Structure 1
Amino acid sequence: MALNTFFSKHIFLADDDAEDRDIFAEALAEVYSEAILTQADNGMKLMDLLNIPPQPMPDVIFLDLNMPGKSGYDCMAEIRACKNMNGFPVVIFTTSSMEDDIDHLFGLGANHYVSKPATFDKLKDVIRQVLNIDWSGKIAPTRQNFVLSA
């Protein structure tokens, strides 16, 4: 599947697991080598990056939930509460597949929810799927299409 040619290349990833960040970066490079990846190893650093404001602005944020200092839940609530950030597409990217987490993040206004795939190829598939979304015309997801899978 070809990537949407209108998609900008500025991807933010907040995840406290260095190995997960490295694997994500490698998969992203294989899927879309022109992407610019900005990484934060915790929620506080992500929010610092977003409050600068960042240049370039993120076209999509992949957000882990369980991080020290400031969780993905906290970041999600702050992003949606700030008028300068509330339009950023946020994809929750976590090991959790608990329905309560999914419902909570849907309620907080995340755009999509992805349980981290178990294989590198599935990770590439889900990244490709997210990068193919035309965020400019994106309508808020319904609960039925909120969870993405590879």
Structure 2
Amino acid sequence: MRTLKLAIVENDEDERFFMSEAFRASHEFEIIGEFGNGDQLTEWLQAAPKQLPELILSDLNMPGKNGYDIIDELKTTNPDILVFATSTSSVASTREKCIRAGARDFIAKPDIFVAYDSFVSEFYRLACRYFGC
């Protein structure tokens, strides 16, 4: 099993906590960074960290730079980092908009925090389509 290097961008602190805990518990991901919005992610990337993520999981609706802004920005600044979008919305048009914007894929957040284990498993399957794990 391959471990994927991940950065999480989520403005809700509770959501980010439960999400991160599930990713760490899975041992399928190494969390390289956690950020409250796209501005924080951009600042970190511009500081040239020693290790870059292979993929970024970004919420769509955040103050400052939102998920759509991240998708758009990384297409030119860091095209090798795959961006996956997430939101509480499971409407097909949201996924389609993200894909058209340049996201690799979209995954809906679980309705409750304790359901992040299955979210992480599903996300790993999605990511492995691109990384061959």
Q: TM-score, normalised by structure 1?
A: 0.75
Structure 2's unaligned 5+ residue stretches are none
Corresponding residue for residue 80 of structure 2: 87
Distance 2:94 2:118 in 1: 23
The alignment covers a number of residue pairs equal to 131
**Does the C-alpha gap of structure 1 residues 64 and 46 become closer, same or farther in structure 2, counting only changes over 3 Å?**
same
2:102 aligns to what? 109
SS of residue in 2 equivalent to 1:66:
coil
AA matched with 2:17: D
Residues 88 and 111 in structure 2, CA contact (< 8 A), matched pair in contact too: no
Deviation at 1:131, TM superposition (A): 3.0
- Is 1:18–2:13 an aligned residue pair? yes
| Cα distance change of structure 1 residues 101 and 118 upon mapping to structure 2, 3 Å threshold | same
Runs of 4+ in 1 over 4 A off after TM superposition: none
Q: SS where residue 130 of structure 1 aligns?
A: helix
- Greater alpha carbon shift after TM alignment, 36-45 vs 24-33: 24-33
1:52/1:105 Cα in 2 relative to 1: closer, same or farther (>3 Å)?
Answer: same
- Shift of the 125–53 alpha-carbon distance from structure 1 to 2, 3 Å rule, reads same
> 2 CA distance for matches of 1:130 and 1:22?
17
Once the two structures are superposed, residues 27-75 of structure 1 have per-residue CA deviations (whole angstroms, 9 ceiling, x without a partner) of 1122118723411101111111222233211022110011101111111
Is residue 131 from structure 1 mapped to residue 124 from structure 2 by the alignment?
Answer: yes
**Higher strand proportion (structure 1 or 2):** 2
Percentage of pairs with the same residue: 25
Alignment map for 1:1-150 (pairs within 5 Å)? 4-5=1-2, 7-8=3-4, 10-32=5-27, 35-82=30-77, 85-120=78-113, 122-132=115-125, 133=128, 135-137=130-132
* Shift in Å, 1:23: 0.5
1:137 CA drift (Å): 5.0
| Partner SS, residue 113 of structure 1 | strand
* Cα distance in 1 for residues equivalent to 2:79 and 2:18: 28
- CA distance in 2: counterparts of 1:34 and 1:93, whole angstroms: 17
In structure 1, list runs of 5 or more residues that go unmatched.
139-150
